[in-house]
């Protein structure tokens, strides 16, 4: 049997990440100060690379008063309505790279909360996307991440509810939580706002890692979707490596005679995937 290298079809940037990345890349040539509100992607290589080319990360809106005017790029995670308004009133040029799938959630939350529904966001309360979503409700929102929290939540029979999800939430877990909600409330509007990019990548990782002798997952340690891919692959393939860049794996791979599968998280740039792929094909 000879070695075979298979790159997962949807490895790397999702649609929204690509859009944010290109917005910054294109803006650099404009010759004005370029900022991103928060790190553009969950990938330290990209953020560092952009920093070296003069792009600055704004971490707090109070910084706006002391910075030279230029262009601010809002990342794909999106921002709350208050942040959005503060940014657009700041005198800076704004490029809104909020992923359209996240924007759709903002619109649902704003409309349904204005119409009187209580908002429940299924997701991680510490994730910037979720914090942004909560900030589009006109009267706050409850974030629920697991079944214990769902059990603890007390539904008011006189109120109506709208449930949305963080785009990267696990589809099955969302379904379980929705069933718990539906048992306890009659007036509940469920909007499944999970993005397929994550599910597709996970299904491919599952299938590939079942056949692989060695699996390589490329992603930043901070990226939750990359970590999830690693867990899936590791459960099917003992020899799974979680790496951030090529140098993490050079000289570490065993001699392989079967299939080497490669996948990458949604914020992993193409050039790193290509470097790893070429090394595994030619040098292992």
Residues marked active site are found at: 129
State the Cα–Cα distance between residues 179 and 216, nearest whole angstrom: 36
> How many CB atoms neighbour CB 148 within 10 A?
9
> Which residues contact residue 207 at a Cβ distance below 8 angstroms, ignoring those fewer than 6 apart?
none
Q: Which residues bind ligand F3S (CB under 6 A)?
A: 14-17, 76, 99, 101-102, 167-168, 195, 197-198, 266
Cβ 252 to ligand F3S, closest distance in Å? 30
Cβ neighbours of 8 (radius 10 Å):
23
Q: Judged by CB, which is closer to ligand F3S: 168, or 202?
A: 168
Residue nearest to ligand F3S (CB): 16
Q: Classify the C-alpha dihedral 17-276-245-201 as positive or negative.
A: positive
Tokens representing residue 92 in the block = 């800076």
In whole angstroms, the minimum distance from the beta carbon of 205 to ligand F3S comes to: 15
Least spacing, CB of residue 214 vs ligand F3S, in Å: 27
Spatial distance between the Cα atoms of 87 and 254, rounded to a whole number of angstroms:
51
Output the smallest distance, CB 43 to ligand F3S, in A.
13
Query: 97 with 71: CB under 8 angstroms?
Result: no
Report in angstroms how near the CB of residue 99 gets to ligand F3S at its nearest: 3
Q: How far is CA 110 from CA 127, 195, 245, in A?
A: 19, 19, 40
Single out the residue of 126, 178, 135, 116 nearest to residue 153, CA to CA: 178
Q: At what angle do helices 15-28 and 44-52 cross, to 10 degrees?
A: 10
Q: Which is nearer to ligand F3S, 3 or 19 (CB)?
A: 19
């Amino acid at each position: 049997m000879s070695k075979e290298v298979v790159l997962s079809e949807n490895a790397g940037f999702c649609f929204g990440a690509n859009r944010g990345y290109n917005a910054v890349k294109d803006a650099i040539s404009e010759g004005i100060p370029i900022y991103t509100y928060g790190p553009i992607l969950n990938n330290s290589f990209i953020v560092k690379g952009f920093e070296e080319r003069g792009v600055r990360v704004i971490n707090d809106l109070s910084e706006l008063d002391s910075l030279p005017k230029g262009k601010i790029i809002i990342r794909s995670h999106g921002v709350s309505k208050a942040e959005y308004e503060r940014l657009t009133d700041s005198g800076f040029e704004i490029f809104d790279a909020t992923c359209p799938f996240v924007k759709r959630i903002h619109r649902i939350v704003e409309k349904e909360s204005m119409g009187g529904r209580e908002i429940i966001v299924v997701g991680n309360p510490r994730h910037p996307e979720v914090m942004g979503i909560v900030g589009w409700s006109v009267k706050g929102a409850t974030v629920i991440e697991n079944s214990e929290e769902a059990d603890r939540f007390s539904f008011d029979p006189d109120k109506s509810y709208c449930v949305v999800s963080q785009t990267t939430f696990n589809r099955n877990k969302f379904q379980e939580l929705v069933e718990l909600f539906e048992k306890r409330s009659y007036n509940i509007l469920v909007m499944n706002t999970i993005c397929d990019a994550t599910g597709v990548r996970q299904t491919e990782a599952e299938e590939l890692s079942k056949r692989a002798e060695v699996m390589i997952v490329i992603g930043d340690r901070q990226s939750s979707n990359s970590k999830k891919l690693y867990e899936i692959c590791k459960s099917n393939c003992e020899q799974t490596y979680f790496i951030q860049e090529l140098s993490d794996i050079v000289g570490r791979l065993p001699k392989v005679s079967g299939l080497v599968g490669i996948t990458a998280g949604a914020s992993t740039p193409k050039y790193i995937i290509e470097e790893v792929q070429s090394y595994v094909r030619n040098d292992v």
